[in-house]
């Protein structure tokens, strides 16, 4: 099942997305009565996908991110992969949906893309064993952990560098059925491939990540866990277009603009 969130002529709603999504005129969205957790109930209203605007598919209370979870990315950043998972937070105000511009701060250079598989939590949970992680997951989506590298180096911690408004594009929907173990992840900037890897190359798998994060904090429905980025991160500039594709899920595309541009 594909779960999404839309703006329609009648307002904002959670929906299921059905049919061939490669043809927005053929795909249909069906409105969910309240929220997408558990067994969705439908209002009976529906629209062609082409007639609505996809928003970020979930409103997260928090965004938990994994650092250096691919060995090749750790190496390209000049270090070794840590033995234990390293987690940090992005504010939920950084979240934007498909096709919404990533806004580069006027004083941040360089700003990098980081394509990632994202976990969407499905119910409140704490101290989840890795073997039971799947019971607490609603599904999977795509995210871009946008990062201002100069601020990251200057601050010695990552909150400002990764927490700017628009620095967490998410979407285009949540897939509840996909097996996340071995999916191709590809990031393109202006049609040129920057990142190409597979989720099977994660150092810490999804079960381990959920166990580690839930040992620290209670996870709530809709919370996002970004599982780390592979090698190939690089700069994005004004007027670029970033597209992240994850096999069997879809493609998340966002334009890039520089704030304060005259």
Instruction: List, by residue range, all CATH 3.90.850.10 domains of the chain.
Output: 63-258
* CATH number of this structure's domain 2-55, picked from the four choices 2.60.120.460, 2.30.30.370, 3.40.50.720, 1.10.10.60: 2.30.30.370
Four-CA torsion 193, 199, 201, 205, nearest 10 degrees: 150
pLDDT at 162 over 90: yes
CA geometry: angle at 92 spanning 239 and 191, to 5°?
25
Q: 3-state class of 251 per DSSP?
A: strand
Q: Report whether 233 contacts 242 (CB < 8 A).
A: no
Per the omega criterion (within 30 degrees of 0), is the bond before 172 cis? yes
Higher pLDDT, residue 143 or 76: 143
End-to-end CA distance of the chain: 44
Residue 78 has a pLDDT of 72
pLDDT in tens, 31-49: 999 999 999 999 999 999 9
Instruction: List, by residue range, all CATH 2.30.30.370 domains of the chain.
Output: 2-55
**What's the CATH class of domain 63-258?**
alpha beta
d(CA 92, CA 106): 22
CA geometry: angle at 46 spanning 41 and 47, to 5°?
150
Per the omega criterion (within 30 degrees of 0), is the bond before 183 cis? no
pLDDT in tens, 83-103: 899 999 999 999 999 999 999
Give the residue carrying structure tokens 């597209």. Answer: 243
Going from the C-alpha of 66 to that of each of 28, 41, 116, 167, 206, the distances in angstroms are 34, 33, 10, 15, 11
Give 64's strand partners: 89, 225
Q: Rounded mean pLDDT of the chain? A: 95
Q: Provide φ and ψ at 32, rounded to 5°.
A: -90, 140
d(CA 74, CA 199): 15
Q: 3-state class of 39 per DSSP?
A: coil
Q: Provide φ and ψ at 195, rounded to 5°.
A: -125, 140
Identify the weakest region by mean pLDDT among 65-69, 213-217, 222-226: 65-69
Residue 261 has a pLDDT of 63
pLDDT in tens, 106-153: 999 999 999 999 999 999 999 999 999 999 999 999 999 999 999 999
Higher pLDDT, residue 262 or 84: 84
């Amino acid at each position: 099942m594909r779960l999404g969130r839309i703006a329609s002529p009648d307002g904002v709603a959670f929906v299921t997305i059905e049919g061939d999504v490669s043809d927005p005129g053929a795909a249909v969205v069906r409105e969910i009565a309240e929220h997408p957790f558990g067994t969705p109930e439908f209002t009976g209203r529906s629209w062609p996908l082409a007639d609505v605007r996809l928003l970020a598919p979930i409103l997260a209370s928090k965004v938990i991110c994994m650092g250096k979870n691919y060995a090749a990315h750790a190496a390209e950043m000049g270090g070794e992969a840590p033995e234990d998972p390293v987690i940090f937070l992005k504010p939920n105000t950084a979240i934007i949906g498909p096709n919404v511009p990533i806004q580069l701060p006027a004083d941040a250079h360089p700003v990098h893309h980081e394509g990632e598989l994202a976990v969407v939590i499905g119910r409140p949970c704490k101290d989840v064993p890795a073997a039971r992680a799947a019971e607490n997951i609603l599904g999977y989506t795509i995210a871009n952990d946008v990062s201002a590298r100069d601020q990251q180096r200057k601050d010695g911690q990552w909150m400002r560098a990764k927490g700017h408004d628009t620095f967490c594009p998410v979407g285009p929907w949540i897939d509840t059925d996909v097996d996340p173990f071995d999916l191709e992840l590809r990031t393109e900037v202006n049609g040129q491939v920057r990142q190409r890897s597979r989720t099977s190359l994660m150092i810490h798998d999804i079960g381990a990540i959920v166990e580690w994060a839930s040992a620290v904090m209670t996870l709530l429905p809709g919370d996002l866990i970004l599982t780390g980025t592979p090698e190939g991160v690089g700069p994005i500039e004004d007027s670029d277009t970033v597209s992240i594709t994850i096999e069997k899920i879809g493609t998340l595309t966002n334009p890039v603009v520089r704030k304060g541009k005259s």
